[in-house]
Amino acid sequence: MNDFESPILSVKNLNKQYGAGCGHCRTGDEERLMKNYCPKCGTVYACRHISFDLYPGEVFGIVGESGSGKSTLMQCLYFDQDVTGGEAYIRTYKNGEVNLFGESSQQKRHIRNHQMGKVYQNPVLGLRMGFSSIGNIAEKLIAAGSRNVGAMEGRGRTLLEHVNIPVRRMKEPPKNFSGGMQQRVQIAKALSNNPPILLLDEVTTGLDLSVQASVLDLIKKLQRQLNISIIIVSHDLGVIRMLADRTMVMLDGRVIEYGLTDQILEDPQHRYTQQLVHSLL
């Protein structure tokens, strides 16, 4: 099997629930749940049996309404939250033979620092607002083992230029920046150690249209130049249409449809997807 055909990341049967569950809901019977939670015990099933593969150089879109489990899925993949069950494998980590979710927290941190980058919807989560922008980038590099100030400063400078942050503002803390700039610093930080996988969680939500366009442009450009694999979560179908090669639609913690983005948008099969596509302004 050549590189192109074997996935860089595969997720198998990922489950995430909040609450222990009860006799009523533990059977996994769909009819017994109200949307994604159990009316008897209040347990929320945020992600249910999610499986997908991410291929090298691919942009994989995840759409769904608010509360459908998109962000929870991303948090689980970045180890911000522990999963309830399921497996994930990265090809570049121990030959893809070890389940990431079963690793120790040190190993998870290592994977996060060496294999992944994440851009959060809210820059406060992804950046240290009081530290300088270049320090924010250095943080990720230090975590990945660098102890050379000159090299880190050079790398940070290159990346910040890449995302169009003026060099003279490099040492300013992100709290002085506009939302769009903060988002671009986050992207620079996420890219700092050349991660093979980039997770983007609603990166353009809340930005005005022209800034949205420039951030999307940047992501597209970087993705082509560096050939990274991206998982992008959005409830904005325009963003998905522009960026994603393949798309997965989520509703109430389940995957209801997936396929090529064009196919999903032009010929939606599931009732919810049809509604979603037709409500596009």
Partner 1 sequence: MKIAYNFAFFDEGSKREIRRATLKAIAIPGYQVPFASREMPIARGWGTGGLQLTLSLIGKNDVLKVIDQGADESVNAVNIKKLVTGTTGVKTVEVTAEATLIQSRHRIPEIPLKEHQILVLQVPLPEPLRYYEPSEFVTKRLHAEKEYSGAWLMLFEQIMKYGNMSSGADHPVMVHDRYVMAPSPIPRFDNPKMNYSNALILLGAGREKKVYAVPPYTKVVSLAFDDYPFEAERFDGMSCRLCGAAGVFLDELIHEETGETYHQCNDTSFCLSRLNSVSAKYQEVPLNE
Residue count of the chain: 281
Minimum CB distance to partner 1, residue 78 (Å): 15
Q: Is 272 a binder of partner 1 (CB under 8 A)?
A: no
Work out how close the CB of 167 gets to partner 1 at its nearest, in angstroms, rounded to a whole number. 13
- Binding of partner 1 by 147 (CB under 8 A): yes
146/42 Cα distance (integer angstroms): 46
C-beta atoms surrounding 164 within 10 Å: 13
Using CB under 8 A, pick the residue from 109, 175, 221, 224 that binds partner 1: 109
* Spatial distance between the Cα atoms of 262 and 108, rounded to a whole number of angstroms: 35
Q: Tell whether the torsion through CA atoms of 198, 236, 51 and 85 is positive or negative.
A: positive
Contact region for partner 1 (CB under 8 A) — 16-24, 95-103, 130-138, 180-188?
Answer: 130-138
- In angstroms, give the least distance from the CB of 201 to partner 1: 21
List Cα–Cα distances, 110 to 10, 15, 120, 140, 268, in angstroms. 18, 23, 19, 11, 39
Kindly compute the dihedral angle of the four CA atoms of residues 137, 105, 101, 204, in this order, to the nearest 10 degrees: -30
Q: Name which of residues 159 to 188 contact partner 1 (CB under 8 A).
A: 171
- Distance from C-alpha of 229 to C-alpha of 259, rounded to nearest angstrom: 17
Query: Which stretch in 6-14, 63-71, 92-100, 124-132 sits in contact with partner 1 by CB under 8 A?
Result: 124-132
Q: Does 158 bind partner 1 (CB under 8 A)?
A: no
Q: How far is the CB of 188 from partner 1 (least distance, A)?
A: 15
CA angle 126, 96, 6 (to 5 degrees): 100
List of residues 6+ apart from 144 with CB closer than 8 A: 113, 114, 193
Among 143, 211, 256, 277, binds partner 1 (CB under 8 A): 143
Of 149 and 167, which CB lies nearer to partner 1 in the complex structure?
Answer: 149
Other Cβ atoms less than 10 A from the Cβ of 275: the count is: 11
With CB under 8 A as the contact rule, the residue among 41, 98, 142, 211 that binds partner 1 is: 142
- CB of residue 44 to partner 1, shortest distance in Å: 24
CB 144 → partner 1: shortest distance, Å? Answer: 9
- Residue 63's Cβ-count burial label (10 Å; 0-12, 13-18, 19+) is buried
Instruction: Answer yes or no whether residue 21 interacts with partner 1 by CB under 8 A.
Output: no
Determine if 153 is a binding residue for partner 1 (CB under 8 A): yes
Residues binding partner 1 (CB under 8 A) = 105-106, 109, 128, 131-132, 134-135, 138-139, 142-143, 147-150, 152-153, 171
